[in-house]
Structure 1
Amino acid sequence: MVKELTIEILALVDPVVDKLKRHQLSGDKTIALEISQLLMRVISAARWNSPFELIQIIRQVGKTLNTAQPKEIITGNIVRRVLAIIRDEVEEEDQDKDQTMMNSIFSLLSTQKPDKKIYQQSKKQSSDFRSIIIQGIRDLVDEITNVNEGLENMAVDLIHDNEILLTPTPNSDTVLKFLLKARSKRKFTVLVTENYPNGIEQAHKFVKTLADHKIETVLIPDTTVFAVMSRVGKVIIGSNAVFANGGCLSNSGVSSVVECAKENKTPVFAVAGLFKLSPLYPFNRDDLIEVGDSGKILNYSDFKLVDNVDLVSNPLNDYIPPEHIDIYITNIGGFAPSFIYRIVLDNYKPEDTHLD
Structure 2
Amino acid sequence: MSDLTLKTLTHHHKSDKDIFFQIDTFISQLKRRQITGSNDVGMATAHLLVRFVSAARWTHIDSLISDLRLLGKRLIAAQPREFACGNMVRRVLALIREEIHGNNENGIDNKGLSSSSPLITSMFNLLSTEDKSIETANNEKKTGRDLKPYIIEGIQELIEEIRNIEDSIAGMSVEMIHENEVLLTPSPNSKTVLEFLRRASQKRKFSVLVTESFPNETEIAHAFAKKLAKAGIETVIIPDSSVYAVMSRVGKVIVGARTVLANGGCISASGIALACEAAKNHKTPVLAVTGVYKLSPLYPFDVESLIEVGNTGKVVDFSDKDMVENVEVMNPTYDYVAPENIDIYVTNIGGYSPSFIYRLVLDHYSSEDNKL
Which bracket does the TM-score occupy, shorter chain normalised?
over 0.9
1:247 aligns with 2:285: no
* Counterpart in the other structure of 1:172: 190
SS of the residue corresponding to residue 339 of structure 1 reads helix
1:77 aligns with 2:55: no
Deviations 1:54-87 (A, max 9, x none): 0000000000001100121111000000101111
* Counterpart in the other structure of 1:343: 360
Aligned partners of 2:29 and 2:91: how far apart in 1? Answer: 21
* Counterpart in the other structure of 1:304: 322
Pick the aligned partner of 1:60 from 49, 55, 70: 70
* Counterpart in the other structure of 1:125: 143
Q: Please report how far the alpha carbon of residue 112 of structure 1 lies from its aligned counterpart in structure 2 after TM superposition.
A: 2.8
Moved more, 6-15 or 138-147: 6-15
Moved more, 121-130 or 182-191: 121-130
* Counterpart in the other structure of 2:207: 189
Q: Please report how far the alpha carbon of residue 5 of structure 1 lies from its aligned counterpart in structure 2 after TM superposition.
A: 1.4
Aligned partners of 2:135 and 2:143: how far apart in 1? Answer: 19
| Structure 2: gaps (5+ residues) | none
**Residue 184 of structure 2 contacts residue 209 of structure 2 at CA under 8 Å; is this kept in 1?**
yes
Moved more, 108-117 or 251-260: 108-117
Aligned partners of 2:128 and 2:355: how far apart in 1? Answer: 55
Aligned partners of 2:136 and 2:79: how far apart in 1? Answer: 50
* Counterpart in the other structure of 2:21: 11
* Counterpart in the other structure of 2:344: 327
Aligned partners of 1:23 and 1:98: how far apart in 2? Answer: 44
Deviations 1:213-265 (A, max 9, x none): 11000000000011100000000000000011000001111111110000000
Pick the aligned partner of 1:22 from 7, 32, 35: 32
SS of the residue corresponding to residue 245 of structure 1 reads coil
1:221 aligns with 2:239: yes
* Counterpart in the other structure of 2:251: 233
Q: Please report how far the alpha carbon of residue 113 of structure 1 lies from its aligned counterpart in structure 2 after TM superposition.
A: 3.7
1:92 aligns with 2:102: yes
Residue type matched to 1:260 in 2?
A: A
* Counterpart in the other structure of 1:281: 299
**Residue 37 of structure 2 contacts residue 82 of structure 2 at CA under 8 Å; is this kept in 1?**
no
Q: Please report how far the alpha carbon of residue 149 of structure 1 lies from its aligned counterpart in structure 2 after TM superposition.
A: 1.6
* Counterpart in the other structure of 1:51: 61
1:139 aligns with 2:146: no
| Structure 1: gaps (5+ residues) | none
1:203 aligns with 2:221: yes
Q: Please report how far the alpha carbon of residue 47 of structure 1 lies from its aligned counterpart in structure 2 after TM superposition.
A: 1.4
Residue type matched to 1:5 in 2?
A: L
Distance of aligned partners of 1:269 and 1:102 in 2 relative to their CA distance in 1, 3 Å threshold: same
Aligned partners of 1:73 and 1:152: how far apart in 2? Answer: 23
Residue type matched to 1:167 in 2?
A: T
Q: Please report how far the alpha carbon of residue 102 of structure 1 lies from its aligned counterpart in structure 2 after TM superposition.
A: 8.1
Q: Please report how far the alpha carbon of residue 301 of structure 1 lies from its aligned counterpart in structure 2 after TM superposition.
A: 1.0
SS of the residue corresponding to residue 185 of structure 1 reads coil
Once the two structures are superposed, the pairs formed by residues 249-264 of structure 1 within 5 Å of their partners are: 249-264=267-282
**Residue 58 of structure 2 contacts residue 145 of structure 2 at CA under 8 Å; is this kept in 1?**
no
Residue type matched to 1:111 in 2?
A: L
* Counterpart in the other structure of 2:288: 270
Q: Identity percentage over the alignment?
A: 49
Aligned partners of 2:259 and 2:306: how far apart in 1? Answer: 10
Distance of aligned partners of 1:61 and 1:339 in 2 relative to their CA distance in 1, 3 Å threshold: same
Deviations 1:251-305 (A, max 9, x none): 1111111100000000000010000001110100000001111110111111121
Residue type matched to 1:42 in 2?
A: F
**Residue 36 of structure 2 contacts residue 82 of structure 2 at CA under 8 Å; is this kept in 1?**
no
Deviations 1:73-120 (A, max 9, x none): 111000000101111111111111169868764599331344033433
SS of the residue corresponding to residue 97 of structure 1 reads coil
Residue type matched to 1:112 in 2?
A: S
Residue type matched to 1:56 in 2?
A: S
Q: Kindly report the root-mean-square deviation, in angstroms, between the aligned alpha carbons of the 2 structures.
A: 1.9
**Residue 210 of structure 1 contacts residue 217 of structure 1 at CA under 8 Å; is this kept in 2?**
yes
Aligned residues: 354
* Counterpart in the other structure of 1:149: 167
Q: Please report how far the alpha carbon of residue 129 of structure 1 lies from its aligned counterpart in structure 2 after TM superposition.
A: 1.3
SS of the residue corresponding to residue 283 of structure 1 reads coil
Residue type matched to 1:37 in 2?
A: H
**Residue 97 of structure 1 contacts residue 121 of structure 1 at CA under 8 Å; is this kept in 2?**
no
* Counterpart in the other structure of 2:126: 110
Give the TM-score of the pair, scaled to structure 1: 0.95
**Residue 152 of structure 1 contacts residue 177 of structure 1 at CA under 8 Å; is this kept in 2?**
yes
Pick the aligned partner of 2:312 from 285, 294, 299: 294
Q: Please report how far the alpha carbon of residue 12 of structure 1 lies from its aligned counterpart in structure 2 after TM superposition.
A: 2.6
Aligned partners of 1:153 and 1:159: how far apart in 2? Answer: 12
